[in-house]
A and B are shown apart, each in its own frame.
Chain A
């Protein structure tokens, strides 16, 4: 099933990006509107400064009104103006160039003004900040001049007065938008990441049959699709495992009935032999009966190995790999064999260290390998009265002190047994070597697999 484009993760992420791309260009006009419109709409009637023109005009009007006043009167008036316009710097320079009064003066001025200073002052303060207005008092400046200075920030329309706070607001808003977009993207990916992680956990978790359990579909997007595919895969795995188990059961049944058909006559032969044993009195005859009995055991052993070998060579022998604690495992298998060796007075020398040894193998295969090797020692090397088993992290060694493989040419089953050992070791990804001389045989299995190899089903 295809994912509908609308509900896909792609679409969701594109929406996020497009929203971000649209929001950014619109931010500046929207903020300007939000900041300026209310400021412009709200009139400020008590603004004592007005704009440049009105401020200048107002100052000249004041100067005109002062021409008839006494000095005291002028100072009082200026005092009043200072109270009305506390931010403005005011001073009055008299007709002789002496400063007659000053209120909140914004620039350095001398007490006595020379003509050249006056010219320099005019030149310096023309079209600069603070905004300076010079107005003469009386006819042609007969009573000097009054000067008003005001920081240009206090003049002009409300918009220019807001420009500083506007910068502040825009930085904050853009900052919030950038962080907001970052957080949204992060949340988006965090959610995707969380769902993917959940799926991974579901894949790693193994149920009773060693298979993962199906997951619930969380959405209609791509991950939802992945969940559906995952469930499909689990279903197929369960079915294939079931099929495999059925095949395994059929194989087991086949082996059992074949084994039964072969062993029953062997048992009957043994029974018949037992019948005639008492009748045979000659030593030669008894020897022949003993030999036949031994051959029955060899044949029985051979049947097992041949059946296993046929399954192994046709890749039908069930294989289930797992972590095996080799120290414990070797001790356990050796314990099973101990009594058998003890009966034939074979010394069992086990060398297992205290370091944990973990191998990734099928314990049943490993047991089969060890059984076959022990079987060979017991059958063909009992004369050496010794079997040594040594476990190391990358090596398992089984040694005897028999007469070596060269002397076991008449030993039935050894070849088939070793073929099984060889196939099983190689199938499990390991190597082995056998060193056989007249002083004994040494079998070494080398384990050099990477840990945590995936389970393999043969």
Chain B
């Protein structure tokens, strides 16, 4: 399964992603510069965290118009996988591949922490290595991670089970106190209706190497590999 990791000027988690898919999971991986427009060799496109184009105007706003994002939209339309982490999630909402927007954290602070997350569904390749309802812990690091969408969009997301991860207590309760950034419905990660495009604020790539003490993020990438093999086979 071939991975492409997009590199914008200002991306800073691109090598972390490559470390996971290329080195830990032994998958062919190439870095994709933002000016590239041919991504036809790739199975999975990962948009990493960072500050694409300095996050000028709004996070992800300028990245949206890059050649690589036009190609990513085509890739997604073909049903192929796209993962956006942190700034990548912001880019996906700005691009319109995912609904809603990510705005300033409720308490204004940049938050760098490990937070518990509830896995809301485990029937997608992305989450099939988790148990439904499982509570995992992943790092977050963002200033603009407060998920916002209008009421109608939120209702649609709930109705179509598009919410994959929610901020929760260590015992899995979805409460306002366990919501680090004010995200509506405690949304930490979601997918499009088709399930092939996922955006999430937490960083699974920073919880993949056992040297770092937590490998609960690796399961997301492993699930993707298994799912893809099942589809191919």
Partners in one complex: no
Residues of chain A whose beta carbon lies under 8 Å from any beta carbon of chain B: none
